[in-house]
Amino acid sequence: MRKLIRKHLPDHAAVRKNRWLAPFAGTLLHPRLWHLNRHSAAGAVAAGMFCGLIPGPFQMLGAAVCALTFRVNLPLALLTTLYTNPFTIVPLYVVAFELGKLALGGGGTFVAPPDPGDEGAVAWIEALTAWMAQLGRPLVAGLLLLATLLAFAGYVVVRLLWRRHSVRAWHARKAARQAA
């Protein structure tokens, strides 16, 4: 499993050579950030799944901070945030809103954001602000709950898949030894 993941991730030699990352080399070259085992991979996937719901370009920054804090595989944490994209973000936010609404016991339905229309930019910004305020608490609570659930599920799935792969490899080695 390690070989499969490693061939798609950069090594820390590439980070060492990158001139933009040179000031952070002391922190970014910590061995635990680049070591790949079942603990660091599962933690990295959990960090990436949790941070993937952060709005905008801050997803990877959040995943990097989590990887540095928890000393899990940095490239895998960054890569995992890519599960959110323009095609998946809206359904995930709708699910988060519904989950937050369920958790808070509130009513209401998810309403599409207002169209820019002909009223002008100021009127549209006011309508957009009112729309965001309406979604506020259920959306924030739902995002936190959904991010936590996705992180937990990602952690468990990686641990189970890694264990399954290891057991199969053990059995294959055992069968090869017995055959020889």
DSSP string, 110-130: --PPPP--SS-HHHHHHHHHH
Instruction: From first to last of the 180 residues of the chain, give the pLDDT tens digit.
Output: 566 666 666 666 666 676 766 656 666 667 777 788 899 999 999 999 999 998 777 899 999 999 999 999 988 999 999 999 888 888 898 899 889 989 988 766 666 666 766 677 777 777 767 776 777 788 888 999 999 999 999 999 999 999 999 999 999 999 999 998
Rounded CA Rg of the chain:
21
172 burial level (CB within 10 Å; 0-12, 13-18, 19+): exposed
One-letter amino acid identity for 146?
Answer: L
Q: Per the structure, how many domains does the chain have?
A: 1
Residues near 63 by Cβ (< 8 Å), separated by ≥ 6? Answer: 47, 48, 51, 52, 77, 78, 80, 81
What's the pLDDT at 107? 64
Cα-Cα-Cα-Cα dihedral sign, residues 76, 81, 83, 87: negative
160: its two tokens? 């189970």
Q: How far apart are CA 63 and CA 178, in angstroms?
A: 45
What's the pLDDT at 41? 93
Q: How far apart are CA 45 and CA 72, in angstroms?
A: 9
Residue burial 64-76, b: 16+ Cβ < 10 Å; e: rest: bebbbeeebbbbb
What's the pLDDT at 109? 66
**Structural domain boundaries, residue 26:** 2-179
What's the pLDDT at 173? 93
